[in-house]
Amino acid sequence: MSASKKPARGSVFFHEVVGATAVDPHLEACLQCGTCGGSCPSGNDMEHTPRTLFAMIAAGMRETVLRSNTPWYCVSCYYCTERCPQEVHITDVMYTLKRLAIKEGFSRQSSAAQAPAFSETFMEHVERYGRSFELGLITRYFLRHRPLDTVKIAPIGAGMLRRKRFDLTPRKIRQIDQLQAILARADELERSP
Amino acid sequence: MQYGYYPGCSLERNAGAYHDSTMAVAGVLGLQFTEVDDWNCCGATEFFSVHQMQAYALTGRNLALAADQFAPKAALPVIPVEAAETPQLVAPCSACYLNLSKVDRYLASSPELAAKVNTALDAGGLHYDPGSLRVRHLLDVVVNDAGYDAIAARVQRALTGLRVAPYYGCLVVRPGFQGQFDDPEYPTTLDKLMRVLGAKVVDFPLKAHCCGGHMTQISEDVALELLRRLLKNAAEYQADVIVTLCPMCQLNLDVFQSAVNRRFGTNFNLPVLFFTQLMGLAFGLAPERLGIGKEFVASRPALAKIGTSGEVEQERAVGKRAKRRNDQSLPMPYMPEEEER
Amino acid sequence: MSNDQDQIPPISPPHASPDEERVGVYVCHCGSNIARTIAVEDVAVWAEQQEHVVVARDYKFMCSSLGQELIEQDIQAKGLSRVVVAACSPHMHERTFRGACQRAGLNPYLFEMANIRELTSWATDDREAATSKAKAQVKGAIERAVLQEPLEPLFVDINPNTLVVGGGIAGLTAALELADSGYHVYLVDRDSSIGGQMAKLDKTFPTLDCAACILTPKMVDAANHPNITLMTWSEVVAVDGFVGNFSVQVRHKPRYIIEDLCTGCGTCIEKCPSRVLDQHFEVGLGYHKAIDRNFPQAVPKYPVIDTTHCIYFQRGKCRACQVVCPTNAIDFTQKETFEQLEVGNIILATGYEQFDARRVPQYGYGRLANVFTSMEFERMVNAAGPTSGQVVLRDGVSAPQSVGIIHCVGSRDKNYNEYCSRACCMAALKFAHLVHERVPDAEVYNFYIDIRAAGKHYEEFYHRVLEEGTHFIRGRVAEVTDAARGPGEEGKLIIQAEDTLIGKQRRIPVDMVVLMVGMEARHDSRNVASTFGLGCDFEGWFTERHAKLDPVVTMTEGILIAGACQGPKAIPESVAQGSAAAARVAGLIGRRTIKLEPVRASIEAAACSGCRICNNVCPYHAIVFHEAIKISEVITALCQGCGACVAACPSAAITGAHFTREQVLSQIDGLLWDMQPGVLVLA
Ligand SMILES: Cc1cc2nc3c(=O)[nH]c(=O)nc-3n(C[C@H](O)[C@H](O)[C@H](O)COP(=O)(O)OP(=O)(O)OC[C@H]3O[C@@H](n4cnc5c(N)ncnc54)[C@H](O)[C@@H]3O)c2cc1C
Ligand code: SF4
Ligand code: SF4
Ligand code: SF4
Ligand code: SF4
Ligand code: SF4
Ligand code: SF4
């Protein structure tokens, strides 16, 4: 056994989560104190508090965890990470859970089904132009995924345009080919670890 | 002082006011910002939620470009000698700042990850060695490099009479790390800056709480409640304006304020400005140059207060906390770094 | 072996005939501690084939009586002249095996130990590497053992006086025990009164007897005891010597009171016009005068002038105290004085300090008026404290209708201190009880991660508090805020936490918050440790010789520790340690002399060039220079065997017994047995 590797003890799902996180999140150190759940600004709206999720990960409850809306309600405020007495990289774990949920197709069934769509629409623009394109993002995301809400958001869009806070056309970076090549290689690396 | 400058997507358009005022203020303070050539989006919080390696590669490209562009070159003494060791990269947006600095730190802590990211960058002929840039937030550079004294010296029209709620949000102070410039729980840099400009800083306990980020797009219920808490707290301490250092925070608090009012039957009317805009005003620059007027909640009525005297101040200051001491009250704990308020 | 070796002059008489030595090697399994990672049987079989070795065995527990008998039998039956045991650290069992040798008639200094547990089996999981390292260690021990010489222990007299540093409950207990056994004690405390932290407390868990009732009698006893010399407002500045014969310098800070004249009447305190916040004894919650004592029952009863707040010292005017003092006891010209003490043993009982709650900004201490620390609350409930025992808010009048008690502030947290502070759970339960007692209608909420109530009658106390209707919410508090979200929260402090037993975030509005701040080592514990020559751990707690078997003794002979300076603990354990330390010292004094390791330096007169370099190197001033014959000599009784002079002597004229150059070099040779002889270079 090499000193740097973690022992294979623990649920399969636990190791899946740790393995899918770029830097060791120290998840095994969680002592279930609840500081994270207490700190979370959207804690009241989550189906499970972050702490509960970590207990479930340890228990190997893969599907329950990946179907939970919790990671999608994480607003990346980093309060939990800052305050965790065991230095668990909680916010990073939330990102990992989002990715795993998308991969498994569970995310669309959670009560925060729109969230991945928003991220994905955002990414599409960045992949195409190299920069984000807010007007395009908002219109496309709402039209495609939340058509009924489009009327609600329309006045805001109009206000933004009036104040010249939206561009009508996307801005494209010069070396978009270079960026796309890098992203393609990154994608390959992620698929074949 | 020379810096690489990474504006990020927001400053290009929805937060154009932040960019304009930053440039104006930097000019006054003698900070020279050179934009990173052909930078791409930092990925905000979205990429990390979908593709981890792509998220690292995206920010990796920006770091690689900047490191290359601003590397001290022997023949071309672009970078002044005193900064020659590590070129500095400034980001005004909190999310950009966090992505740039966090990716740099994570790459440094995990050679495995650094190798992977560089394999990806290699597809575009790029390479980045962690640590070859020092990533800074704009506020850090302004208060620590230019310095409070230099700022005080440039003040032409003190913000006297203006009650400011300094709002930091999350990503500029958290996660804290070795060498971070302010406290992750109760930061004070912006408070001090506002005091130097002559403003009255109100206590704002929620100053580092979350604005919700992209939550407005995911769950309006959650997002509007987060915003309500912040606006309520600032209003209770009778702030005239909220001052921010992040385009996302500004957007949420400003653009969605009317939605909050509608949802909760409140009538908040709190303009939300960037700290650079208030600096510019204090430096005597024209409001137009600072992008004032682009906000949804108009700031002009509040800004009209500037220059009003301290008497009005006194009378209003009887907030809910300022309880009159009677003889029997127990002393408050001694706070060594307690500042004049 | 390199040629350089031959040029070094022989430093001890050439050994009789190492070739004839008969060595026995014993490899211990230590249950599975060693055997799990080292192939102990292999090591034994291999050892038996080495030069000099006549028998080699492995055994489950060498330190057991059966293990020791193995050695004794072999010494007698096989005529062993040297014994090597490969087992744990010599700190654990060198004494054990030396005893076995002695019983079988072998000089105990002909025994050598190889530590293959701490240094090897516990250090790696690689069985192959561990086994070959163990062989190298055994080889080194064999090579060294054959060159060892029989030595006779040294005996020195023990000074029966003892120094106790710190007059908290631990130090007081130790001092009284020793004094009652008839030995003299110097009790030094840097504060103006003895009593320590316990003197600030109101009632003590789990029995709720009042701290003052059980502490002050002991304080008075100490002051009046014929065998105790009390030195308060004093500090130890230097320590010289060694077990049995320490020489200690004590600095007496000026009190500005002539103790012989002062009757403790208190008139000066009453009349002093300068009233200032008391950050020390009242932890910032109350006031004291510029001339004052910690509390009315302070021992000794003499006040002290706080020069930073005395008007006379600051501005040259006032002298009110001097005017009113009926006995003319005030002396503004007093200077600090120094005193030299000779003692045989030293007990350190310097206690702990509180974690600074300002370091956790999210709990609002210092910002939010009604957030209190546990010690502030302790002073508040104390009948002799600033509120005469009333539980009130910062306004000094209103009683709280709800109180939130937050556990683990600064403890069990890698951002601050990782350890558990041990006494705060129980103190928190005590506080809950006291709130119920003083404000019967108030609701009390305890926010905890785990309730640590492991002590006699502790769990029962917890049950009692449960029955009193205290709310227990399992969840570490995220933050305390005054930012109300809705009507129920206006004007309150809101404690936000996850109730982990429900799995939901909760916000509990309360009037008062009490932070159970943890215990920390004294801020200067590292300096104190270096003055007394003992070790400190990473967090600043003094290090004991063995965490389980020798908790009150340090690695430095004659220096003992007791109470919370060794690690967080409550009064019962502090008292137990105080008594234990006293018993250890009394036992030692009873022996009158102490056996010292005969590991001493000696100078070969013929080789000494008279350069005097060693004279100044010796930290114990053990080397004298004979002017007439221009030769240095080691005074054996003073030498501590540190070896500094051995290394410093340019003529290699000094030898450290049991650590001769030959012995050490051949041990190194042995350690490197598997290296090729030609390649070996000894620097
Ligand atoms: C809020 C609170 C409530 C508590 N309640 C209880 C309770 O109800 N029951 C219970 O069993 N325990 C309780 N405890 C724990 C209790 O306070 C300790 O167990 C006990 O005080 C430890 O005693 P000590 O003698 O080891 O240390 P201390 O009381 O700290 O005494 C150390 C003494 O050494 C002196 N000193 C320090 N450094 C030096 C130096 N360099 N030179 C000379 N003198 C020095 C100090 O002045 C002090 O007098 C409580 C603790 C806290 C924080
Ligand atoms: S704060 Fe850290 S230790 Fe506590 S429950 Fe959350 S992850 Fe676990
Ligand atoms: S980072 Fe996410 S999970 Fe953590 S406290 Fe913030 S919102 Fe909650
Ligand atoms: S100094 Fe004098 S006045 Fe003060 S307590 Fe002593 S005797 Fe009384
Ligand atoms: S001289 Fe100093 S101590 Fe004495 S009464 Fe005046 S202020 Fe108090
Ligand atoms: S004793 Fe209790 S309150 Fe104190 S640190 Fe340990 S668990 Fe926390
Ligand atoms: S070994 Fe030498 S230096 Fe060390 S105490 Fe003895 S005489 Fe002094």
Residues of B in contact with C280 (CB under 8 A): none
Same domain, B228 and B285: yes
Please report the atom of ligand 5 found closest to the CA of residue C274: 7
Same domain, A168 and A85: no
Nearest to B319 by CA among B215, B224, B206, B204: B204
Report the separation in Å between the CA atom of B328 and the middle of ligand 5, taken as the mean of its atom positions.
24
Same domain, C29 and C146: yes
CA R_g for chain C: 31
Starting at the edge strand found earlier in the chain, the sheet holding C53-59 runs C53-59, C23-28, C82-87, C111-115
Give residue ranges of C with CB < 8 Å to any B CB: 277, 279, 284-287, 357-358, 360-362, 365-367, 369, 373, 376, 386-387, 392, 394-397, 481-485, 491
- On whether residue C668 sits in a domain, the answer given is no
Please report the atom of ligand 4 found closest to the CA of residue C266: 5
Same domain, A101 and A11: yes
Give the residue from chain C lying closest to A87, CA to CA: C414
- Of A109, A125, A140, at which residue does a domain stop? A109
Judged by CB atoms closer than 8 Å, whether chains meet at B41 and A130 is answered as yes
Q: How confident is the model at residue B217 (pLDDT cuts 50, 70, 90)?
A: confident
Judged by CB atoms closer than 8 Å, whether chains meet at A102 and B121 is answered as no
Our measurement of the distance from residue C611's CA atom to the centroid of its chain's CA atoms, rounded to an integer in Å, reads 40
Same domain, A7 and A22: yes
Cα–Cα dist C326/B42, whole Å: 79
Residues of C in contact with B321 (CB under 8 A): 369, 482
Report the separation in Å between the CA atom of C287 and the middle of ligand 4, taken as the mean of its atom positions.
19
- On whether residue C66 sits in a domain, the answer given is yes
Same domain, C325 and C411: no
Averages of pLDDT over runs of 10 residues in chain C (683 residues) are 41 57 96 95 96 96 95 95 96 93 95 96 94 95 94 91 98 98 98 98 95 96 98 96 92 97 96 96 96 96 97 96 97 97 98 97 96 98 95 96 98 97 98 97 98 96 97 98 94 98 97 98 97 94 94 93 98 98 97 88 93 89 91 86 90 91 90 65 37
Same domain, B296 and B246: yes
The domain total for chain B is: 2
Residues of C in contact with B333 (CB under 8 A): 284, 357-358, 365-366, 373, 376
- On whether residue C682 sits in a domain, the answer given is no
pTM (2 d.p.):
0.89
Judged by CB atoms closer than 8 Å, whether chains meet at C483 and B329 is answered as no
Same domain, A67 and A122: no
**Which residues are CB-neighbours of A152 under 8 A, at least 6 positions away?**
none
Same domain, B51 and B189: no
pLDDT at B190: 97
The domain total for chain C is: 5
pLDDT at C335: 97
Range of A86's domain?
A: 3-109
- On whether residue B147 sits in a domain, the answer given is no
Q: Which has more confidence, A2 or C649?
A: C649
Judged by CB atoms closer than 8 Å, whether chains meet at A167 and B124 is answered as no
The domain total for chain A is: 2
Start-to-end CA distance of chain B, whole Å, equals 31
Mean pLDDT, range A74-100, rounded to an integer: 96
Same domain, B163 and B286: yes
Give the residue from chain A lying closest to C410, CA to CA: A85
Residues of C in contact with A79 (CB under 8 A): 478
Q: How many CB atoms lie within 10 A of CB C297?
A: 16
pLDDT at B74: 54
pLDDT beyond 80 at B224:
yes
Helix (H, G, I), strand (E, B) or coil at C36: coil
Same domain, A101 and A10: yes
Q: Look up the CATH number of the domain holding residue C133.
A: 3.40.50
- Chain C neighbours (≥3 Cβ pairs under 8 A) are A, B
Q: Which long-range contacts (CB under 8 A, 24 or more apart) does C205-214 make?
A: C205/C426, C205/C427, C205/C429, C205/C430, C205/C458, C205/C461, C205/C570, C206/C426, C206/C455, C206/C456, C206/C457, C206/C458, C206/C460, C206/C461, C207/C457, C208/C430, C208/C433, C212/C297, C212/C384
Mean residue pLDDT of chain A comes to 89
Q: How confident is the model at residue B340 (pLDDT cuts 50, 70, 90)?
A: very low
Q: Look up the CATH number of the domain holding residue C627.
A: 3.30.70.20
Same domain, B245 and B301: yes
Range of B222's domain?
A: 156-314
Residues of A in contact with B19 (CB under 8 A): none
Judged by CB atoms closer than 8 Å, whether chains meet at B205 and C483 is answered as yes
Is B188 in contact with B182 (CB distance < 8 Å)?
Answer: yes
Same domain, A18 and A53: yes
Instruction: Name the closest ligand to CA A39.
Output: 3
Same domain, C39 and C94: yes
- Chain B neighbours (≥3 Cβ pairs under 8 A) are A, C
Same domain, C101 and C29: yes
Closest-CA distance of chain B to residue A10, Å: 24
- On whether residue B13 sits in a domain, the answer given is yes
Say what the ipTM of the complex is: 0.92
Residue of C505, C506, C507, C508 to mutate, testing the A interface (most A Cβ within 10 Å of its Cβ)? C505
pLDDT beyond 70 at A6:
no
Please report the atom of ligand 2 found closest to the CA of residue A37: 6
Beta-ladder partners of C474: C448
Judged by CB atoms closer than 8 Å, whether chains meet at C505 and A40 is answered as yes
How many Cα neighbours within 13 Å face the side chain of C367?
22
Cα–Cα dist B170/B214, whole Å: 13
Residue of C416, C417, C450, C500 to mutate, testing the A interface (most A Cβ within 10 Å of its Cβ)? C500
Task: Give the DSSP H or E segment for A152.
Answer: helix A150-162
Same domain, C581 and C607: no
Same domain, C391 and C510: yes
pLDDT at C387: 96
Quote the tokens at residue B194: 């506002």
Pairing of strands B32-35, C623-626: unpaired
Q: Which of B186, B331, B335 is closest, CB to CB, to C277? A: B331
pLDDT at C541: 98
- On whether residue B289 sits in a domain, the answer given is yes
Q: Which long-range contacts (CB under 8 A, 24 or more apart) does B322-327 make?
A: B323/C369, B323/C395, B326/C395, B326/C396, B326/C397, B327/C396
Instruction: Judge if the beta carbon of residue A94 lies within 6 A of ligand 3.
Output: yes
Q: Look up the CATH number of the domain holding residue B263.
A: 3.40.50.11810
Size of chain B in residues:
341
Same domain, A67 and A151: no
Same domain, C509 and C527: no
Q: Which residue has the CA at smallest separation from atom 3 of ligand 3?
A: A74
Q: Which has more confidence, B320 or A177?
A: A177
A81 in reach of chain C (CB within 8 A): no
Same domain, C469 and C569: no
- On whether residue C223 sits in a domain, the answer given is yes
Q: Look up the CATH number of the domain holding residue B50.
A: 1.20.1050.140
C208 in reach of chain A (CB within 8 A): no
Q: Which has more confidence, C37 or B79?
A: C37
Nearest to C274 by CA among C324, C312, C322: C312
Print burial letters for B282-317: b (CB count within 10 Å at least 16), e (below 16).
bbebeeeebbbebbbbebeebbebbeeeeeeeeeee
Judged by CB atoms closer than 8 Å, whether chains meet at A122 and B46 is answered as yes
Per-residue pLDDT tens over the stretch B114-159: 999 999 999 999 999 999 999 999 999 999 999 999 999 999 999 9
Residues of C in contact with B186 (CB under 8 A): 361-362, 367
Pocket test for ligand 4, best of C327, C328, C331 (most atoms within 8 A of CB): C327
- On whether residue B14 sits in a domain, the answer given is yes
Angle between the N-to-C axes of helices A90-104 and A50-58, in degrees from 0 to 180, rounded to the nearest 10? 70
Is B245 in contact with B274 (CB distance < 8 Å)?
Answer: yes
- On whether residue B336 sits in a domain, the answer given is no
Task: Give the DSSP H or E segment for A154.
Answer: helix A150-162
Same domain, B174 and B306: yes
pLDDT at C681: 38
Report the separation in Å between the CA atom of C311 and the middle of ligand 6, taken as the mean of its atom positions.
43
Beta-ladder partners of C633: C624
pLDDT at C567: 97
Same domain, A37 and A76: yes
pLDDT at C4: 42
Same domain, B91 and B234: no
Pocket test for ligand 3, best of A40, A45, A81, A95 (most atoms within 8 A of CB): A40
Same domain, B103 and B249: no
Q: How confident is the model at residue A82 (pLDDT cuts 50, 70, 90)?
A: very high
pLDDT at B84: 58
Same domain, A81 and A153: no
Instruction: Judge if the beta carbon of residue A39 lies within 6 A of ligand 3.
Output: yes
Residues of B in contact with A98 (CB under 8 A): 48-50
Same domain, B204 and B285: yes
pLDDT at A156: 85
- On whether residue B96 sits in a domain, the answer given is yes
Same domain, B11 and B116: yes
Same domain, A96 and A167: no
- Of A109, A139, A171, at which residue does a domain stop? A109
Closest-CA distance of chain B to residue C285, Å: 6
Q: Which of A75, A119, A165 is closest, CB to CB, to B215? A: A75
- On whether residue B256 sits in a domain, the answer given is yes
Q: For ligand 7, which residues put their CB under 6 angstroms from it?
A: C 601, 617-618, 620, 622-623, 634, 639-645
Q: How confident is the model at residue B323 (pLDDT cuts 50, 70, 90)?
A: very low
Pocket test for ligand 7, best of C620, C624, C659, C661 (most atoms within 8 A of CB): C620
pLDDT at C394: 96
Same domain, B173 and B270: yes
Mean pLDDT, range B191-199, rounded to an integer: 97
Same domain, C392 and C477: yes
Residues of C in contact with A1 (CB under 8 A): 125
Range of C300's domain?
A: 267-331
Cα–Cα dist C369/C492, whole Å: 11
Pocket test for ligand 6, best of C405, C412, C520 (most atoms within 8 A of CB): C412
Mean pLDDT, range B254-274, rounded to an integer: 96
Q: Which residue has the CA at smallest separation from atom 6 of ligand 7?
A: C639
Same domain, B165 and B266: yes
pLDDT beyond 50 at A4:
no
Judged by CB atoms closer than 8 Å, whether chains meet at B333 and C394 is answered as no
Instruction: Name the closest ligand to CA C476.
Output: 2
Cα–Cα dist B259/B253, whole Å: 10
Closest-CA distance of chain C to residue A41, Å: 10
Give the residue from chain C lying closest to A37, CA to CA: C498
- Of A89, A109, A129, at which residue does a domain stop? A109
Judged by CB atoms closer than 8 Å, whether chains meet at A34 and C412 is answered as no
